[in-house]
């Protein structure tokens, strides 16, 4: 975890404030949520990638964690404080914590919005537009919006009747497919765990012919006759049902190969929206998948054009490492600083976290550290632009009493100044004022390389008559 000092700290503060102002101007109300949450909040829906990186601990017998992301917390707050569950626009800023050896920051700051209660392409386009406005306000230009859709892949994997575990492993393996031999690697990794032992084959075909109740009954009787007791803290029926399911799901190899084949085709679908969507329609038709997600993407990209959002890239293989996304997902990729943030639609999360009715939602978050890197990359001098030191350094070592009198006068008139022991070249202030032992002041103008000795009543008129007419 990093310290930020001087100019970088100032820049961070500035960027955060600018972004929050922009969110406000787009109608988002600020919510503040605690840093420490109950671990369970994230176990329920955030997914393995996030959960394995959490700072998770037991304190006074309660399992707590430092929040690894903001959306789950904001949604929890939404459920608790807005019981009517009406449409809401919420925004937030806060530190999140993830233990990842390969990331530069284990604590980083997310700023983002959640648009809750609207399920439409317009809502999705609006959040993407808000993200673009945020970057425009900061003067960041060299980035690309990459849009995908979780619906395509999830729909296909569910149609294969794969277990949740296998779906999760497939999703996490999608990045492997970018590698030269990634496809075979992924298949062999999964096959290792999901090929059926040959002995179970015959039993599986017998069970396949039975209905569930008969099969369950047979299994329980079989186990009883073998004197295998099913007592303990698990339900006998659950054990029997899972055993049947396991035996019925014979060799999964064919399905794995099919799933990986589809994923490999999906990641090829990347590029300019119109042609990519046309190619995608073809692929989905080949696999007999409902093209609804593509219809949504058509509408979203069309709306973005109307919003004036320029270059957009579609990527049907895009995958964000949070499991709660259900529809459109997007990322903001900067030419030098990489991923600045992203977001998407999550229509199930609110109910999963205890909301009374199904409530659609969409949103995004930006990472402050990445944005600051993009800003400093775009212009090295930018950091200085946001850091405005005081114009006056008042050296008081030789005559504190006199210096304090001048300081009070500056304070009363609203001038910024800093008290120093001795003015040095490192101070970037325009004026160095040194209180002398004889109650006079040496007034040095660093910009114009002039120096004059004045008595107390003349110091401020002198400053006023020069550049310091503007109050800081």
CA nearest to 109, candidates 386, 329, 370: 370
Q: Which of 246, 278, 405, 464 binds another protein (CB under 8 A)?
A: 246
Residues contacting residue 33 through CB under 8 Å, at least 6 positions apart:
67, 70, 73, 74, 76, 77, 92, 94
Is 2 exposed, middle or buried (CB count within 10 Å of its CB: 0-12, 13-18, 19+)? exposed
The distance of closest approach from Cβ of residue 171 to another protein in the complex, given in angstroms and rounded to an integer, is 10
The distance of closest approach from Cβ of residue 343 to another protein in the complex, given in angstroms and rounded to an integer, is 23
H/E run at residue 96 = strand 88-97
Q: Which of 228, 288, 421, 437 binds another protein (CB under 8 A)?
A: 228
Neighbours of 353 (CB within 10 A): 18
State the number of CA atoms in the 13 A half-sphere of 206 facing the CB.
Answer: 10
Interface of this chain with another protein, residues 15 to 44, rule: CB under 8 A: 43-44
Residue 100 in the binding site for another protein (CB under 8 A): no
The distance of closest approach from Cβ of residue 51 to another protein in the complex, given in angstroms and rounded to an integer, is 4
The distance of closest approach from Cβ of residue 231 to another protein in the complex, given in angstroms and rounded to an integer, is 7
Q: Which of 21, 25, 32, 48 binds another protein (CB under 8 A)?
A: 48
Residue 102 in the binding site for another protein (CB under 8 A): no
End-to-end CA distance of the chain: 34
The distance of closest approach from Cβ of residue 331 to another protein in the complex, given in angstroms and rounded to an integer, is 22
CB–CB of 157/167 below 8 Å? yes
Binding-site size for another protein (CB under 8 A) equals 28
Partnered with residue 442 across adjacent β-strands are: 434, 453
Interface of this chain with another protein, residues 145 to 174, rule: CB under 8 A: 163-165, 168-169, 172
The distance of closest approach from Cβ of residue 356 to another protein in the complex, given in angstroms and rounded to an integer, is 17
Residue 441 in the binding site for another protein (CB under 8 A): no
The distance of closest approach from Cβ of residue 57 to another protein in the complex, given in angstroms and rounded to an integer, is 11
Neighbours of 247 (CB within 10 A): 19
Per-residue interface string for the shown chain with another protein, residues 170-209, x marking contact by CB under 8 A: --x--------------------xx---------------
Residues contacting residue 62 through CB under 8 Å, at least 6 positions apart:
38
Residue with tokens 């998948």: 289
Provide the binding-site residues for another protein, judged by CB under 8 A. 43-44, 48, 51-52, 63, 163-165, 168-169, 172, 193-194, 223, 228-234, 238-240, 242-243, 246
């Amino acid at each position: 975890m990093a310290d930020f000092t001087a100019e970088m700290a100032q820049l961070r503060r500035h960027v955060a404030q600018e972004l929050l102002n922009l969110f406000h101007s787009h109608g988002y109300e600020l919510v503040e949520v605690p840093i420490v949450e109950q671990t369970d909040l994230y176990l329920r829906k955030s997914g393995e990638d996030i959960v394995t990186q959490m700072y998770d601990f037991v304190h006074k017998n309660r399992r707590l964690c430092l929040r690894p992301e903001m959306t789950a917390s904001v949604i929890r707050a939404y459920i608790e404080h807005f019981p009517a569950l009406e449409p809401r626009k919420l925004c937030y800023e806060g530190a999140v914590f993830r233990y990842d050896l390969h990331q530069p920051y284990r604590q980083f700051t997310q700023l983002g919005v959640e648009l809750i209660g609207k399920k439409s392409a317009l809502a999705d386009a609006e959040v993407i537009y808000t993200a673009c406005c945020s970057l425009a306000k900061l003067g960041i230009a060299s980035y690309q919006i990459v849009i995908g859709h979780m619906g395509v892949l999830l729909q296909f994997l569910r149609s294969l009747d794969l277990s949740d575990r296998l779906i999760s492993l497939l999703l996490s393996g999608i990045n492997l497919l970018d590698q030269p031999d990634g496809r075979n690697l992924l298949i062999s990794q999964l096959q290792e765990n999901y090929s059926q032992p040959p002995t179970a084959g015959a039993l599986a075909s017998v069970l396949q012919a039975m209905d569930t109740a008969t099969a369950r009954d047979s299994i329980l009787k079989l186990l009883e006759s073998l004197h295998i007791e099913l007592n303990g803290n698990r339900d006998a029926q659950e054990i029997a049902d899972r055993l049947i399911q396991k035996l019925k799901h014979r060799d999964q190899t064919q399905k794995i190969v099919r799933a990986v084949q589809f994923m490999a085709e999906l990641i090829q679908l990347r590029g300019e929206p119109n042609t990519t969507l046309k190619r995608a329609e073809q692929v989905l038709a080949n696999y007999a998948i409902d093209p609804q997600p593509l219809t949504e993407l058509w509408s979203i990209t069309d709306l973005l054009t109307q919003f004036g959002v320029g270059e957009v890239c579609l990527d049907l293989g895009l995958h964000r490492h949070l499991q709660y996304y259900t529809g459109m997902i997007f990322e903001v990729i900067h030419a030098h600083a990489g991923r600045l943030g992203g977001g998407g639609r999550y229509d199930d999360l609110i109910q999963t976290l205890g909301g009374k009715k199904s409530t659609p939602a969409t949103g995004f978050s930006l990472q402050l550290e990445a944005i600051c890197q993009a800003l400093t990359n775009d212009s090295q001098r930018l950091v200085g632009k946001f850091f405005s030191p005081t114009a006056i350094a008042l050296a008081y070592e030789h005559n504190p009493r006199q210096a304090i009198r001048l300081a009070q006068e500056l304070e009363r008139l609203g001038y910024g100044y800093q008290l120093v022991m001795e003015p040095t070249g490192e101070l970037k202030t325009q004026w160095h004022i040194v209180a002398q032992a004889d109650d006079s002041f040496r007034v040095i103008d660093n910009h114009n390389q002039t120096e004059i000795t004045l008595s107390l009543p003349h110091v401020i008129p002198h400053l006023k008559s020069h550049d310091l007419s503007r109050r800081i």
